Structure 1
């Protein structure tokens, strides 16, 4: 484990001009601010551009640490008494626990009173507040938003396989999605790009898919009951979501490399098979951040021409405009002047434009006032519009207790390896649900954007 970042204190012997009033009111304090998040590779490079602008504006040095085991590492740091100054975390359930334990520090949030961030995005940020918080105190805000209910495809490859009509109108219902899958198979193509490997969190692409299916198959109320620990894993609703996913990805010719290959294939590498010659697969169910992986290939895939998306279709739940989404929440563990400056900067309109404005990036803002022109292409603009319309439901795994979320990941891997184990796996998850929610169930809700 890294050294305690929260205890770092270097003096910075330069100052800079200030273009973001919220971030730079008064003299810039010398020193550093430590930040932890889960971004690495291209995503880390994009976030570093945000931090570099913060350093230029304030003269404060930001030290970023990226961890693929973010939740466990942060929990350890908090327990040992030396958390980072600022953490950017996707698990809303984990953050609510930190707030209840009194380890998060409050801050003011510019624009909150005007719904600049979008109503439902603000509601989820409010869910992190402890019960005794003042109305103007915030303990988290959405720094980066993402769309989970998305199916990606290569228009050029699909058109070459099936004909021009296949990209004129993409599936709007589950039956149409299944029909498209069957036409791909009939044309000797492999429909689905599936990769479960994402150490140490392998399996999450499957949990995303199952959650998305449950939402669109059984509706918002069932989804809320499930994510808040009120719906048993052994219920018909939950089981049906698993078997519906299984009907897509199990069986000969359904998945590139077969189900056993999918267990070993990295989630990002799986989607890039769409751009092989000939294509290794044609459809990729993945969060919108995967756009950066597509753009990072050789040669880089181009939005619109080489990749596009359609929202996950209604599967009988009457959920045509309902989307599963996720977010990375900025929070403060140490109320230093430097940490407060960084929080205010990250929440500013100027900072919210930086990562979404990177052409090869794949970040989206919960700032409803951000103009579409910030995004570099039409595909990004459509994703951004989706994040500010319809009914939004938060990613299920990020609402569950950490132990249950981790077991969900492992159960996906076991089910993909051996579908006959499904009932036993659901029984195990149900036992964990009863333990995790023995005293209180969750209160997170879906809502209109």
Structure 2
């Protein structure tokens, strides 16, 4: 536009400038939970990222109950945001995720079942700090500080927890248990005595299985963690988790020897001790639900 000097002309009515068309704020998809204003989720629900593809890897697979729930969640998220989620779930996740990252084919998001596995990738520089895209305000509103501390490795907040498994639970067939007259033990000695009582009655007390593909053995670490917390100090437990207390230390050996009193007695385990490593952990409690039960106790998370 040029501004020029002109001789005065006849005065004309002043013309009002044309109004710019109003920009309509896109409507947010309806969800049944609170959404923090100004965050990435709000933008996603407005369709800002529609058409974007996000790759997610994890351990949920196919028609397993967890796999079905994950697929339902992904579908609902895609419908609400227009984002295409490519979920790659498989039971060999612990092995395949290492191969993918080493090959430079890392997914955008990884759903780690074990925080310890995630820590390995943090230490290798493969993980982005979540505070780069989730605000401090949102994180502090959603999580107690203790959860955030557990997700922090070497000063990097590596992720957020979306699912929690309570461990140290012993399951039992309640109706059959009461009919048999068994009582709930309150100490380790009482638990061992009950285990022997069930064996004397001609049954096996425990169903135990730890087979889990490339991750076989993680269920045994649950038992070890339990016994570490019961037989040594919290400081030693933390040192063990941090890799500073080796597995052949007296403290860890004592923990393993404690649970081996149950595992390594063929009279105590359904199928005998040799079946433990070949029985899929998800199938291992099934004999407890037969009539009559073929085992009476099973230690597993929820």
Name the TM-score, length of structure 1 as normaliser: 0.54
Does residue 125 (structure 1) correspond to residue 148 (structure 2)? The answer is: no
Residue 152 of structure 1: aligned partner:
171
How far the C-alpha of 1:266 sits from its partner, in A, is 1.6
**Which of 230, 235, 258 pairs up with 2:272?**
258
Matched, 1:74 2:100: no
* Distance of 2:108 and 2:52 partners within structure 1: 12
Match of 1:111 among 128, 131, 138: 138
Quick one: distance in 2 between partners of 1:38 and 1:82? 17
Q: Deviations along 1:34-81, whole A, 9 cap, x unmatched?
A: 111001211110111211221121111212111222233222222222
The separation in 1 between residues aligned to 2:77 and 2:127, in whole angstroms, is 22
Q: Partner of 1:56 in structure 2?
A: 79
Classify 1:120/1:173 alpha carbon distance in 2 versus 1 (closer, same or farther; 3 Å).
farther
Q: CA 1:69–1:174 in structure 2 vs 1: closer, same or farther (change >3 Å)?
A: same
2:297 aligned residue:
283
| Separation (CA, whole Å) in 2 of partners of 1:232 and 1:85 | 33
Higher percent of residues as helix: 1
**3-state DSSP class of the match of 2:163?**
strand
Paired residue for 2:48? 28
Residues 1:128 and 1:230: Cα distance change in structure 2 (over 3 Å): closer
Q: Secondary structure at the match of 2:227?
A: helix
CA distance in 2, matches of 1:83, 1:179: 50
Contact 1:161 1:187 in 2 (8 A): no
Relative to 1, partners in 2 of residues 1:278 and 1:245: Cα closer, same or farther, differing over 3 Å?
same
Question: 3-state DSSP class of the match of 1:192?
Answer: coil
SS, match of residue 82 in structure 1:
coil
Contact 1:154 1:275 in 2 (8 A): yes
| 8 Å Cα contact 1:190-1:256 kept in structure 2 | yes
1:84-134 deviations in whole A, cap 9, x for unaligned? 1111113333433433444323321563224x323321111223643xxxx
Aligned residues of 1:196 and 1:265 also touching (Cα < 8 A): yes
Task: Please give the secondary structure, in 2, of the residue aligned with 1:146.
Answer: coil
2:62 is the counterpart of 1:44:
no
Higher mean displacement: 95-104 or 270-279? 95-104
Gaps of 5+ in 1: 1-14, 131-137, 289-449
C-alpha distance in 1 between matches for 2:117 and 2:220: 21
Q: Residue 68 of structure 1 aligns to a residue in which SS?
A: coil
The separation in 1 between residues aligned to 2:91 and 2:154, in whole angstroms, is 23
CA contact (8 A) 2:28 2:47 kept: no
Distance 1:87 1:224, change over 3 A: same
| Residues 160/85 of structure 1: CA separation in 2 closer, same or farther (3 Å cut) | same
Distance in 1 (CA, whole Å) between partners of 2:177 and 2:204 is 11
Classify 1:191/1:219 alpha carbon distance in 2 versus 1 (closer, same or farther; 3 Å).
farther
- In structure 1, what is the Cα distance between the partners aligned to 2:155 and 2:236? 25
SS in 1 for 2:171: strand
Does residue 221 of the first structure (1) align with residue 235 of the second (2)?
yes
Residue 140 of structure 1 pairs with residue 159 of structure 2: yes
How far does residue 185 in structure 1 lie from its aligned partner after superposition? 2.1
Larger relative contact order (C-alpha < 8 A, sep ≥ 6)?
Answer: 1
CA–CA distance in 1 between the matches of 2:181 and 2:124? 56
| Distance (Å, rounded) in 2 between the aligned partners of 1:157 and 1:240 | 34
SS in 2 for 1:64: strand
CA RMSD of aligned residues (A): 2.3
Task: Give me the whole-angstrom Cα distance separating, in 2, the residues matched to 1:59 and 1:27.
Answer: 6
- For residues 151 and 260 of structure 1, the distance between their equivalents in structure 2, rounded to whole angstroms, comes to 21
**Structure 2 unmatched runs, 5+:** 1-26
* Cα distance in structure 1, aligned partners of 2:149 and 2:206: 35
- Which range is displaced more, 79-88 or 95-104? 95-104
